[in-house]
Structures are given as C-alpha cells and as structure tokens.
Structure 1
C-alpha cells in the first residue's frame, strides 16, 4: 500500500505506541457505534407489544428518520477531519472554533428539516410504503420523533469535534446514558402513562436531547477554556456546509448502491422471493455488524490522519496509513474466518425456515471472503476523509455506482440467484471501491499538509 521509499519511515515508527493509540480511539468508537442501533431496537421491542400496526409504523417512520440523519453523517466525519487537522497544527482554539461552527450548522439543518417533515409526515410515510393500517401510527411517531432530529444532528457534530480532539470515550458515555434513559422513558410513557406509540417517540426525543446536551456541554466547556467564540460565525458555517457537500454525495452513492442491491433481490426470478429477502436481510444484518468493527478503525484513521497532516508530517501520515491498512486486513481476515466457520449454524439463530437456513450458508461465505477487502476499503475511506479528500471520495462513489449498478442488474436479467447478487456486491461494489481508494492512497495528491 505504501511506496518503497516509505519503508524506512515505517520501520522507525513506534508500532506498539501507534497500535495503542489506534485502539484507544477505535474500541470506544466501536462500542458507541454498536450502541446507536439500540435506540431503534429498544423502541421496536417495546412498541412491538402494542400491536403489528404500531410496530410497522415505527419501522416506516424509522426509515424516514434514518435517511435524514444518515445523509448528515458528514457533520461527524467532516468535523473530525477539520478539528484534528487544527489540533495537529497546535491550534486548539481554532479547532474548537471550527467545531462550534459545525454544531451551529447542525442546528440550522435540524431546524430547516423539522418543520417540513412534521407538516408532510403522512405523505412521507405513504411514500415509504405505509398502507392505511400503518400510516396512522407511523405519522404519529414521525411527527413527534422528528423533534429529535436537531439534537441528533448536534450529537453528530459534537461527536465529530470530540473525535478530532482524540476523544472517543465521551461519545460512548453519552450513547450509553441515552440508551438507558430511552428504555426507561419508553416503558414509563408507552405503558405506565398509556401514551402508546406517541410515548415511545417522546421518550426517544427526551433521551436524544439529553445526549446532545451532554456532548455539547463538553465541547462548549473546552471552547471556553481555550477562548474560542461560541456565537455563530456565518463564514465558518458556510465553509463547513461547503465541505460537507462532497461527503453527502459520497454517502448518497453508498446508500444508492445498497438500495440497488435490495431492489435486485426483490426482482430475482430464481427461488421464492420471501426466502430470498429473508436471507438477504439476515446476511446484511451480519455484514452491518461486522462493518461497525471496521468503521471503528476508520474513525481512528480520520482522527490520526487529520492530526498528522495538520502537523505537516506526510511521512508519519504514510506510516499511520500503512499500519491502519495492516490492521484492516488482519481484522478482515479474522472476521472472515470467523464468519465462514459459523456459517452453517447462523441460520438457526434467526429463523426456523429450512430454506432460508440453507441459502444463508453460501451467501455468508461470500460475505466472509469479502471481509479482507472490506477491511482495506473502510480504513482507506477513513484515511481520505481524515485528509479532507471529500471531492475525490464523492467522484469515486459516483464511478463505483456506475460500475456496480449495471453488474447487479445483469445478474437479475440473466436469472442469477441471491448468491450471485452477493458475488456482484463483493466483486462489483466492494471491489470497485477497493480499486478507487487504493489508487488514490498510492498517490500523493491527498497528502496536503497544514491547515
């Protein structure tokens, strides 16, 4: 992954110290990432006992909310990179000033989004697929839960600031506190107060507000300590927004690729559709969980890359990248071997349908083989985000999508089954991302030092 000229620099790097720093950042980040889906999972477990319509309504509203928040993940990623770069340059006050701009941008986006979603909640739920029985609970939940979008976006921005400051523990603490409070409030409001699905939405919003307040307080306290201004800075907010556009495009291309994969599964001519969709859902759930492990390393890569480039040390950045990629491959191989070894037994954990269990084995084996590739992809994605190379990532995402969509469409046209869809995902999508990212990593164009 590195050039031969970098080998000397890499050998002089304190690998043990670097590894400790990587895992100091990655382990809390992983635990916080795992905690995030627990919000919706705990809501589902509690609301599910109200009835099928309420549970389906929660799922529909959840799709709308997750789409909004997912497209704004740049508030965390972009802020991490810019703050870390300033920290590397020794400008802590400037780093926190940029972080405050990111939080203000989150507030602006949240306010702009909240009112239209509240007004258009019913048509949005119908657009996602809610029928007459489901649209009522879905609309009720969405109109209340969207009040939590602004605090959720503030959480993203504040988390990005703290990651840039090389702190991934505080976001973990906030995530744990918010999840515990969410469960307590959901039980109390849904059943104790008899508010039904509305109580679940209210409980989640309260928990999200508390978590946002915790994280924002930590950032504000640090800003005051360094003398960084807290008032909105319009040029800084506009700069943060412009920098985020490229990452929005990158995120959008990733989501479109996943949507194309699901669309292909629903249109397969081979086998029972329900069996295929159920198998795909289980396999994708496993893939997503393992992605949290790799994404945690990518978060560490964002913070460390931004810091070293901000310090003006391109050689150290190369060394960090090489070590990160090594860990990505090692973990990818490890998770791949583990996934392959348990593939015959995983189906029993999710379903009693023998057809799904049988089909799941080859699909999981394909996912297992792709894990080392995913390890490199996730790490280099984090490195380039940390380097502020969003424009390249956006175009890389577009070209990856252009390469992948015709391939997965061809699988459907030729009558391939679910296994072939996953092979096209591993080879076409992950393979294309691997090529796009490694080509960039081998060049020097992303190694822009300073602030």
Structure 2
C-alpha cells in the first residue's frame, strides 16, 4: 500500500469522500460573499441617512430614484446568478478556462445592454419619476439624481458579470476587495458631496464607487482569461436561455416592489419616505442572508458538475439550517431595536409613525427569508430557473398584488402594503421547500 494511503483524512477530506460538505467550506465562500453583498446596502443605508437630513422631499426623491435604478439593473441578475450557475458546473467538471470564458461573454452582454438601459433612463427619467412618485417636487429632484446615476448602469452590470464568473470558480475573496475599493471612497464622498452640492451629491458619490469597482473586475478578467475576446453568439445564446427565466423572475420582483412604492406614494410623502427606509433595511437584510445562498449555489453547481447529487442535497440542508439561525438572530435584533433603529434614518414624527406597524411585518419577513434565500441558492446552483420563475410569478399574483391593491382600496396605508410583501415571502417559502424535498431540481442541466 502507498504510504500516503495510510495517513488519516482530515475532516474536510472525509466529508468530501462521503459526499458531504463541511460548514468550514460553506463559510469560506459565504463570509467574503457577505462582505460583498452587505457593503453596497450598508452604503445605501448611509446614503439614506445623509439624504434624510435634507428633508422628507429629498428622502422621498431618493426612494423614487433608487427604486427606478434598481428596476432597470436587477432585470440582468442572470449576469451574476446565471453566470455562476454555468461557470460552477464547468469548474466542477475541471474546465476552469471555460468557466472564465463565461465571464467574458457575460461582460459583453453587460456592456451592450447596459448602454441601452442607460440611454433609456437618462432620456425618460422625468416621466418615470413623476409616474412613480405622483409629486412634481419629488419627481424633479429624483430626475436630477437618476440622470447622473444612469451612467453607472453599464458599470453595475459589469460588476454583476464579474461576481458571477469569480463565484463560479469559487473565488469570493477578490470580489470583496473589488467591492470595498468602490464602496469605501463612495461612503467617504457622500456626506462631503451632499453637503457641498445638495441632493445630487449623492448620485455623484454613487457613480464614483461604481466606476472604481467595475474597473477592478475588468482588470481581473483581463489577467485571468487567456483565450479569445470575440463575442461568441452561441455561448451568449445559452446564457440567455437560462437568463430568460431569471429575467422574467426579476420582472416579477419588480412588479411587486414598484407596486409597493407606487401605492406607498399614494398615501403621502411620509408613507413613501418610511417605505424607502424600510426597503433599504430589507434589501440589506436579504443580501446578508443571500451570502449563504451564494455558497449554496456555488457548491451545488460544482457538486452536480462532478455528478454528486448526494453532496448537493447535503449542501442544501446545511445552508438552510444556518440561514434560519442567522435570520432568527437578525429578527431578534430588529425586534429589540424597534424604537432606536428607525431614528437612525429620520427624526420626522410622521415618517416614524408611518413605519410603526409595518416594522413588525418586516420582522416576520426576516424569519421566512432565512429559508427562502437559502433554498433559492440551491435551486439556482441546479439551474432550476423555470421553477423559480413560476414560483415567483405565483407568489406575486396570488400573494403580493391582492394584498397591496387591497391596501389601496381599503386605505390600509403602509401596513397593508407590507402585508402584501409578507404574503409574497410566505408563498415563495412554501414553494421552494416543496421543490427541494422533491429532489426534482437535481435532474436539471445548465
């Protein structure tokens, strides 16, 4: 017998041999991803706090502008999640060069589509902001912000593509440093520029951060890729097949969140401002939970790429357990801080009053989100995009839309809007739990 064969396996090797994944492996991917995912929402929370000091009109304008900016960028989430799903399968099969090449084609899509979206948003922002806010003063301020920020749309999409291929080859550390390279200068600039130039200073700080981060991702791609840089329509076509379902899924999200912001605006400036604060907090919390989901996606894709369904199922179980525990801890913090946390962002009594009851609905959503986002990661890693698309559409049609429009009809205020959002989460949770236990997701191929 070879001497090496007599040496005991360490814990990581033993679990791998048994088709399982250690928590150490999950956390090695999740913790840097947490930094990436949390950095931008933390910056946006700082941005919200700084702009909130200008007044509720500016805070409402920031809410309208950032909602629209999010609408046009999150439709391309497949540049991140879809690229990770494809690249992780290739990486698991030992084809690292091909995994990186997926990033090249995703970056071409980011540049081409991003430029079209930027032009559309720049030209159409006066109409978009007025439609969303229903208030000319708020729309005028939001238009100024959005026209500056529109130049950052291609930059943000490049960053999404970069995160996708790097996660696919199980490198979540480099994206953390790239993200901090942009977020830290932007965080330093936002109070300075808002003080010097008013509300538009926020947009300039945001654009500066996006430019720095996207440059880092482009440099990393140039260094890692040794093949052709030509556009490969056949690869892009395969990416878009997966991306099609993720885009429809993202559109469903945007129907929900746009409707929520629009209905909140109809209840007045205080309601829209309160909704802006709570949505930024929710975005931060969901992305924190999504760090474990990214680990699940990467490891699930790699496990299926090497033909180990048992290992992929073990990833799912482990991530759900830890994600639920983290969500419970976050919910406890927000329950204990229900008087203190909202005052970090505004001192306006009408805004604080508007978010008093919705705050407790937010806490329930955090608990459900711990399960939802973890299993989303597993299913994305398995490229189960069709099911995720259908489940999301069903949760919007059956849960969110009835709740939010009943809120408007019954004049239930922001509480009714957030009841609709809670129904959206609960239906998704039931759907992904059923799908995971059925094991039908393991039969998909990218």
Q: Give me the whole-angstrom Cα distance separating, in 2, the residues matched to 1:142 and 1:415.
A: 30
Which residue of 388, 394, 398 corresponds with 1:399?
394
Q: Give me the whole-angstrom Cα distance separating, in 2, the residues matched to 1:53 and 1:348.
A: 17
Would you say 1:377 and 2:372 are equivalent positions?
yes
Offset, 1:381: 1.1
Offset, 1:186: 5.9
- Which residue of structure 2 aligns with residue 324 of structure 1? 319
- Which residue of structure 1 aligns with residue 36 of structure 2? 32
Which residue of 170, 180, 183 corresponds with 2:174?
170
Say what the alpha-carbon RMSD is for the aligned residues: 3.6
Spell out, residue by residue over 1:255-301, the C-alpha distance to the aligned partner (whole angstroms, 9 max, x if none).
22234445555667xxxx66665655554444333222211111111
Q: Give me the whole-angstrom Cα distance separating, in 1, the residues matched to 2:274 and 2:191.
A: 32
Q: Give me the whole-angstrom Cα distance separating, in 1, the residues matched to 2:140 and 2:263.
A: 30
Aligned partner of residue 157 in structure 1, secondary structure: helix
Which residue of 438, 444, 448 corresponds with 2:443?
448
Q: Give me the whole-angstrom Cα distance separating, in 2, the residues matched to 1:309 and 1:14.
A: 11
Between 101-110 and 25-34, report the one with greater CA deviation.
25-34
Gapped regions of structure 2 (runs ≥ 5): 1-13
Between 37-46 and 147-156, report the one with greater CA deviation.
37-46
Check whether the contact 2:122–2:146 (CA below 8 A) recurs between aligned residues.
yes
Aligned pair in 2 of structure 1 residues 275, 115: CA closer, same or farther (>3 Å)?
closer
The 5 Å alignment of 1:56-71 reads 60-71=64-75
Q: Give me the whole-angstrom Cα distance separating, in 1, the residues matched to 2:343 and 2:123.
A: 43
Spell out, residue by residue over 1:80-137, the C-alpha distance to the aligned partner (whole angstroms, 9 max, x if none).
1111111111111111111211111111111222333333343344444486556665
- Which residue of structure 2 aligns with residue 5 of structure 1? none
Offset, 1:144: 3.6
TM-score (norm: length of structure 2): 0.82
Q: Give me the whole-angstrom Cα distance separating, in 1, the residues matched to 2:54 and 2:83.
A: 40
Gapped regions of structure 1 (runs ≥ 5): 1-8
Aligned partner of residue 343 in structure 1, secondary structure: coil
Q: Give me the whole-angstrom Cα distance separating, in 2, the residues matched to 1:187 and 1:359.
A: 26
Between 362-371 and 437-446, report the one with greater CA deviation.
362-371
Spell out, residue by residue over 1:221-273, the C-alpha distance to the aligned partner (whole angstroms, 9 max, x if none).
2222xxx33222121122222321211111121222234445555667xxxx6
Spell out, residue by residue over 1:143-195, the C-alpha distance to the aligned partner (whole angstroms, 9 max, x if none).
3432221111101101111111112221111111112333556678777xx77
Q: Give me the whole-angstrom Cα distance separating, in 2, the residues matched to 1:430 and 1:291.
A: 11
- Which residue of structure 1 aligns with residue 118 of structure 2? 114
- Which residue of structure 2 aligns with residue 3 of structure 1? none
Aligned pair in 2 of structure 1 residues 187, 277: CA closer, same or farther (>3 Å)?
closer
Offset, 1:388: 0.8
Q: Give me the whole-angstrom Cα distance separating, in 2, the residues matched to 1:87 and 1:28.
A: 19
Aligned pairs, how many?
A: 432
Q: Give me the whole-angstrom Cα distance separating, in 1, the residues matched to 2:274 and 2:124.
A: 34
Between 397-406 and 259-268, report the one with greater CA deviation.
259-268
Aligned partner of residue 440 in structure 2, secondary structure: coil
- Which residue of structure 1 aligns with residue 104 of structure 2? 100
TM-score (norm: length of structure 1): 0.82
Which residue of 208, 216, 219 corresponds with 1:217?
219
Offset, 1:210: 2.5
The 5 Å alignment of 1:422-433 reads 422-426=418-422, 428-433=423-428
Check whether the contact 1:374–1:430 (CA below 8 A) recurs between aligned residues.
yes
Q: Give me the whole-angstrom Cα distance separating, in 1, the residues matched to 2:343 and 2:275.
A: 15
Between 24-33 and 378-387, report the one with greater CA deviation.
24-33
- Which residue of structure 2 aligns with residue 205 of structure 1? 207
